[in-house]
Structure 1
Amino acid sequence: MVSAPGRPGRPVAAASGRQVKLGAYVTFQGGTWQVAAVAGASVTLVDEDGQTASVLSSFLFADPAFTVVGSPSAGVRQWGLLESVPARQREQALAWQRHIREIETGLPDGPGSTGVPRPEYDPQRTSMAEREQTKADELTRLGWPRVSRATVRRMRARYHDQGLWGLIPRRKPSSATGQADERVVAAVLEALRRQRGRSKGTLKGLRELAGQILADTHGPGTVALPPPSTFNRLARALADPLEHPGRPARTATAPVRPFTPTVALRPGELVQIDTTRLDVMAISEDGRAVRPELTIALEIATRSVVAAVLREEGTKAVDAALLLAEMAVPHPARPGWPDHLRMAHAAVPYDRLLALDARLEQAAARPVVVPETIVIDRGRVFVSTAFLAACETLGVSVQPAPPRSPAAKGAVERTFGSINTLFAQHVAGYTGPHILARGEAVQDEARFTVAQLQELLDEWITACWQHRPHDGLRHPLLPKKALAPNEMWGALLGACGYVPWPLTGTDYLELLPVRFHPVTGRGIRINHRTYDHTLLNEHRGRPSPAGAGGKWEVHLNPHDVRQIYIRLPDGHLHEIPWIHRDHIHAPMSETTWRHIRTALGRRTDREKHEAALAEAADQVLRRARPTTAAQPAPPKTTPGTHTAKAAPQAAGDQPAMSRYEAEAEDSLDALEARAQAEARDDVGADEPGTHPLPGSGALTLYDADQEAELW
């Protein structure tokens, strides 16, 4: 064997402290050699072909490629790192060293020490496996945690590989993503990139987006998402803390009031109604980016959203009144919806219900309830004369909530939060729950009009909310299973039954706000609009036999001002069209009309001015709703009607309204501010003799009789 000079019998040590024995194989100058002999400081090597070479031991060890086959590479142990280890861990490492030496040599202090080995650790009497098992049992009796023979064998290997430093207990360093699938990591990074600069949503919404990316990239079901807790840790590790800050801390805490759950035992027994701003920017009728108001009716017994209405500039009394009709009649399934969103596929006794109400054949899978009691806050809309009168007409009891007590309507308040997290954060133009989570240019992200957003919301309620298990819905026979709103409605139908509530077109007209106006020789004049029809010929200039002050009772829908409805002496409401209704090919709200009237101003006589307003209104509505679909056919002209041909909207053509906008460009902002102030002052839309509150939106009544047939 290779011996150290001057000390026969001691093997020569390599740079790593390992001993190179005679017959060992070493790597030298790119080849593998076997140590054959040593003559002083020279080492004789033999390669695989039998060729020999004699080199100095110092030259052999200095070769950069020198290694001993089967032994770790040379290197000085990092003894200085032991000073950075806590004292308790150093003591534990030294204790392991004594135990390992006793296993291998029989003596705790290793070879060369004095003493007699204990019988159970005598190498001459026991095998290595027996000594390892004996040491594991001994350490377990001493109170060492989780020590087995495999643990002893692993610690021996670490000691031979790294020395005393290998016995220091430490965690294995890992990357931020751990053992996560690289495809999942890439999907999370892509989801975070798409959210960069936009309003921040929840981790659940980010997980759904990552799942969509995985399905689009690798195919549906190819790569499974990790559990929510694992995904949340992965997302926090990959997200930039500067771009995804946490929620702001609360600066003030309100005292917690006693919580009493609201209980309802049958559908329609208790319905909560409230209004809030949706966390989504939408496109208004005049092309502006606005945050629409959402009004919902939540049925407490089934936690079903039985009615939901989006409005552009604020909910009016007519919207709250129409909620009553919307929750009491079947919701029609929209064209293009899949079949599983129809009532026939819901978890209800459909055949029995269809025998009671034939309208359910084309209905969506949403509950139909007749409200008994409605809980409202003290908002101006819900305490208005129109809403209270509608409730009284339909036999609905109204229960105002106590002042400054949001817990009195806790269910509907919590539902608003669920809609924002489950629906709104996935919609373009999401504003986030607070200012710190808001994107940089939310207004520029708005892609949907209020009407399109209403369609999306209706489909989401039918497809998601009504089929999503709710923790507050428990059946007495299945107390551990959370039921979906549709499932709870089906369960309660067996106990309470179903009573259809038919509504006709006249019922819808009666729910509209009431005004009183005289019938003049030119017809009925409302806000610079003239309504006229041959039905008014025998009543022109005459007082109403039943109206206040001799004026006639008029019903007006503020979301579609193209026609009004007047009550004639026969007791029925009759439709009176606007004289320029043929120019407007889409529903026009009172807010749009005020905006156009303020921007243009009167520059000609009354008839020409009204015709110019009608043309401008048509152009605004066309620009506000860009579409690639075919334009509607021009209306047919009949004798006695006023018609005008609209200019084509070709590329480069200037719309008729543009020249007026150019003249009023300097003062348009001031005029719009004044118009908005006027709109806020008109608060008595439903009071007799007052102007209605202007509103906007796209969920309108085109024709009352046709609407009743659709329902």
Structure 2
Amino acid sequence: MKSVRLFDFIQFDGVSWQVVAQDGAELALKNLSSGRIRRVPVAELLSDESYLPDSPAALPCLDGAAVLERLGPSAKARTEFLHRHVHELVYGTPPEATCSAVPRPEYDLANPLLRRVETKAAELATAGTPISARTLRRHVAAYRKHGIAGLADGRNIRPSTLTGWADPRVVALLEAEIAGQATTSTGSRSRAIIRVRALAEQQGLSVPSRSTLYRILARLEKSRHPFGNATTRRTQANRPDRTYGRQAPSRPGELVEIDSTPLDLMVLYPDGSTGRVDLTIALDVTTRTPLAAILRPVATKAVDAAVLLARAMTPLPMQPGWDAALSYSRSVLPQGMLPPDEEVRAAIAAKPVIVPESITVDRGKVYIGSTFTAACERLQISLTKAAPRTPTDKPHIERFFAGVNSGFTQYLAGYTGPNVVRRGTDPAAEARFSLAEVQALLEWWLVAIWQNRPHPGLRHPAMPKKDLTPNEAFAALAGVAPQIPVTLTRDDYIALLPLQWRSIHPYGINFGGLRYDCPALHEYRGVPSGLASPANGAWEIRYDPYRLQSIHVRDHHKGIWIEAEWTMARRLAGPFSLDILAAAKKALDKRSGNIPGADLLAEINRILTAPVGRVEVQAATRAHTTDPVVPAATDPTPAQVPGQDADPVIALARPHRRARRIDHLED
């Protein structure tokens, strides 16, 4: 406790003063060096950290004022019993007596304290609760020094240690053994005890009994789960050893997280095999809006991060080739799984356009490569790298991945479950969807379902009990922190696509064994570009690895992009990717060893319309029934358009036979 009195010599604000006068709530302080008078409010003086009294007042400490609340029932009753009798010894009356109460004659303060103590000892002995006079004198001294806290049994309020009286060196061995369990296979506690005992005996330490070691080990485990599941143990060990922080961006785009994860789903690869896919997503933390999502059949490449950034800043209708991809998905998916164009475009229009200001990524090669970092620098987006092996630096996107699995992936045929314990007998045999189909369904689910689903992390101060949807959160913040909508133009989008150098031949451009041509290239056929190394006279080519029906040639003389279409693109069933092209070439190599253009077109169309390895299964199914295939674990409810009365994600669960409609092909 702090106090100040008139004429005290004090230290305040780094200077020596004397209190010379008091005027109401203010004190007059005289500077002992200069004699200057300063008026300071009493409350300001006492609360200032620089205030030091010349002779601190011997005021009582209030640390033990709440001691009764920390005691058990029996200890509390004993302390209250002592308090009543000791209070009467010190003040003449019990604590419950009023101010006007008269002390009993034997406890009148005029009597010496020793006589009062002897009288109290005799009284307690007669009442059947004997306490010696010596003990009573000790209680009186403790009461005067510490108050009622001095009457409590110290054994009841003294804090105990985790390890008791055990040798600290043995405890250190136990701690090291627990820490070493983070990366090893799960073992039992007995193994840890045996190892610790062996190490302690080698060092000549006194080892407690086995029961004591087990008791200490149980106290040291805490929440680290050193003898539980290995996955849980590694997760617990990965928690930051500090106070948890919390990111609270206040406007859309202020903080965006990008990460990749394997999707818990088996899909059909272009070569007919099955496997899992990687999902790469860019998530706005403020509104929980996914800016873009890309699926890959293998580990994500560095160019994918740049393409993801391009798609994040370009609405779907403005992306070259997106209309063709949507038409293809609608032609191969069962009728009703994707709604009409009007409904799709309305859902896309409701999704906010968010410009990233800062992006948090991990330290994978995908995001620290020059392709992605140069794009962020060019767009003036600050890049923050998370700590190594610390997913807690991107908690929001990690939770988003769990939401995708629970709200989208688990309803698709081929769902693998989060781990082998929850995995079905053969998820690969249940796979029915190709990568392109899952990409189309995921994009539709994000804009139609996720953007309109309430999120517990989104709440407005005016409605603290109402969970907002990502679209509602953006609308609420738009009035507080309005954002200027900025999107990439077609040229900007193309500039972020992967780069290659190619010559323009009289027949066009040879890219990946395919010929691309355009009338606008006529004046450059056989003409060097004039660009130095690494071009060496070749022309700059940009391509979308997921939509290879056309490529883009840079005319650096005119400063424009020329779109060159594959010469057989008009006969395609739909957009195809580099993976499909590679699978088609591999299949033809196994058959004939050469790759004629017409055969390659037929192989690409065959992969797009009926994946290898599933044609026989689908043909057998159609021979027995005309209804869509529905496995036992799937709800046989007819497919619904997402957004209608039935649960929209159930529509995604129904495996299907591929529609072989290629009505838009030209001869």
TM-score normalised to the size of structure 1? 0.47
Report what 1:701 is aligned to: none
Q: Provide the rounded CA distance (Å) in 2 between the counterparts of 1:510 and 1:277.
A: 28
Question: Does residue 1:483 correspond to 2:468, yes or no?
Answer: yes
Which residues in structure 2 correspond to 1:75-154 (within 5 Å)?
none
Q: Provide the rounded CA distance (Å) in 2 between the counterparts of 1:255 and 1:275.
A: 19
Of 259, 271, 274, which residue of structure 2 is paired with 1:274?
259
* Pair 1:557–1:455, CA change in 2 (3 A): closer
Superposed displacement of residue 300, structure 1? 1.0
Q: Which runs of 5+ in 1 are unaligned?
A: 1-245, 344-359, 637-711
Superposed displacement of residue 294, structure 1? 1.1
Superposed displacement of residue 552, structure 1? 1.1
Q: Give 1:295's aligned amino acid.
A: T
Q: Provide the rounded CA distance (Å) in 1 between the counterparts of 2:441 and 2:525.
A: 46
Which residues in structure 2 correspond to 1:671-690 (within 5 Å)?
none
Which residues in structure 2 correspond to 1:42-61 (within 5 Å)?
none
Question: Does residue 1:596 correspond to 2:584, yes or no?
Answer: yes
Question: Does residue 1:579 correspond to 2:567, yes or no?
Answer: yes
Which residues in structure 2 correspond to 1:272-311 (within 5 Å)?
272-311=257-296
* Pair 1:563–1:441, CA change in 2 (3 A): same
Q: Provide the rounded CA distance (Å) in 2 between the counterparts of 1:368 and 1:283.
A: 32
* Pair 1:532–1:475, CA change in 2 (3 A): closer
Does the 8 Å contact 2:609/2:660 carry over to 1? Answer: no
Does the 8 Å contact 1:603/1:609 carry over to 2? Answer: no
Which residues in structure 2 correspond to 1:249-260 (within 5 Å)?
250=232, 253-254=236-237, 256-257=239-240, 258=242, 259-260=244-245
* Pair 1:495–1:629, CA change in 2 (3 A): same
Q: Provide the rounded CA distance (Å) in 1 between the counterparts of 2:444 and 2:508.
A: 42
Q: Give 2:578's aligned amino acid.
A: E
For the residue of structure 2 that corresponds to 1:632, the secondary structure is coil
Superposed displacement of residue 585, structure 1? 2.6
Q: Deviations over 1:131-165 (max 9, x none)?
A: xxxxxxxxxxxxxxxxxxxxxxxxxxxxxxxxxxx
* Pair 1:535–1:470, CA change in 2 (3 A): closer
Question: Does residue 1:558 correspond to 2:545, yes or no?
Answer: yes
Q: Deviations over 1:71-127 (max 9, x none)?
A: xxxxxxxxxxxxxxxxxxxxxxxxxxxxxxxxxxxxxxxxxxxxxxxxxxxxxxxxx
* Pair 1:469–1:534, CA change in 2 (3 A): closer
Superposed displacement of residue 561, structure 1? 2.5
Q: Deviations over 1:568-605 (max 9, x none)?
A: 22221112233333443322222222223233339989
Does the 8 Å contact 2:348/2:447 carry over to 1? Answer: no
For the residue of structure 2 that corresponds to 1:386, the secondary structure is helix
Report what 1:474 is aligned to: 459
Of 360, 363, 366, which residue of structure 2 is paired with 1:378?
363
Which residues in structure 2 correspond to 1:445-456 (within 5 Å)?
445-456=430-441
Superposed displacement of residue 296, structure 1? 1.4
Which residues in structure 2 correspond to 1:122-271 (within 5 Å)?
250=232, 253-254=236-237, 256-257=239-240, 258=242, 259-271=244-256
Range that drifts further, 248-257 or 612-621: 248-257
Q: Provide the rounded CA distance (Å) in 1 between the counterparts of 2:514 and 2:525.
A: 17
User: How many residue pairs get matched?
Assistant: 373
For the residue of structure 1 that corresponds to 2:666, the secondary structure is coil
Q: Give 1:559's aligned amino acid.
A: Y
Which of 1 and 2 has greater Rg?
1
Does the 8 Å contact 1:519/1:541 carry over to 2? Answer: yes
Superposed displacement of residue 542, structure 1? 2.9
Q: Give 2:368's aligned amino acid.
A: V
Q: Give 2:663's aligned amino acid.
A: P
For the residue of structure 1 that corresponds to 2:500, the secondary structure is strand
Q: Give 1:296's aligned amino acid.
A: I
For the residue of structure 2 that corresponds to 1:382, the secondary structure is helix
Does the 8 Å contact 2:347/2:447 carry over to 1? Answer: no
Which residues in structure 2 correspond to 1:628-647 (within 5 Å)?
628=659, 630-635=661-666
Does the 8 Å contact 1:331/1:364 carry over to 2? Answer: no
* Pair 1:303–1:381, CA change in 2 (3 A): same
Q: Provide the rounded CA distance (Å) in 2 between the counterparts of 1:363 and 1:557.
A: 21
For the residue of structure 1 that corresponds to 2:265, the secondary structure is coil
Does the 8 Å contact 1:342/1:365 carry over to 2? Answer: no
Q: Provide the rounded CA distance (Å) in 1 between the counterparts of 2:264 and 2:525.
A: 49
Q: Give 2:585's aligned amino acid.
A: R
TM-score normalised to the size of structure 2? 0.50
Q: Deviations over 1:496-519 (max 9, x none)?
A: 114222433222222211111223
Does the 8 Å contact 1:331/1:366 carry over to 2? Answer: no
Identity of paired residues, percent?
39
Superposed displacement of residue 459, structure 1? 3.4
Superposed displacement of residue 274, structure 1? 0.7
Q: Give 1:423's aligned amino acid.
A: F
Does the 8 Å contact 1:271/1:299 carry over to 2? Answer: yes
* Pair 1:604–1:302, CA change in 2 (3 A): closer
For the residue of structure 1 that corresponds to 2:433, the secondary structure is coil
Q: Give 1:617's aligned amino acid.
A: I
Does the 8 Å contact 1:287/1:623 carry over to 2? Answer: no
Which residues in structure 2 correspond to 1:296-445 (within 5 Å)?
296-330=281-315, 363-445=348-430
For the residue of structure 2 that corresponds to 1:544, the secondary structure is coil
Superposed displacement of residue 431, structure 1? 0.3
* Pair 1:268–1:389, CA change in 2 (3 A): same
* Pair 1:325–1:519, CA change in 2 (3 A): closer
CA RMSD of aligned residues (A): 3.4
Range that drifts further, 558-567 or 436-445: 558-567
Superposed displacement of residue 629, structure 1? 6.0
Q: Give 1:292's aligned amino acid.
A: V
Q: Give 1:622's aligned amino acid.
A: T
Does the 8 Å contact 1:283/1:289 carry over to 2? Answer: yes
Superposed displacement of residue 316, structure 1? 3.9
Q: Provide the rounded CA distance (Å) in 1 between the counterparts of 2:454 and 2:262.
A: 25
* Pair 1:463–1:622, CA change in 2 (3 A): closer
Q: Give 1:600's aligned amino acid.
A: L
Q: Deviations over 1:465-520 (max 9, x none)?
A: 33333332333333344333233222211111142224332222222111112233
Does the 8 Å contact 1:318/1:513 carry over to 2? Answer: yes
Range that drifts further, 375-384 or 441-450: 375-384
Q: Provide the rounded CA distance (Å) in 1 between the counterparts of 2:567 and 2:343.
A: 41
Q: Provide the rounded CA distance (Å) in 2 between the counterparts of 1:612 and 1:407.
A: 50
Does the 8 Å contact 1:318/1:557 carry over to 2? Answer: no
* Pair 1:584–1:482, CA change in 2 (3 A): closer
Q: Provide the rounded CA distance (Å) in 1 between the counterparts of 2:507 and 2:593.
A: 15
Question: Does residue 1:613 correspond to 2:600, yes or no?
Answer: yes
Q: Give 1:458's aligned amino acid.
A: E
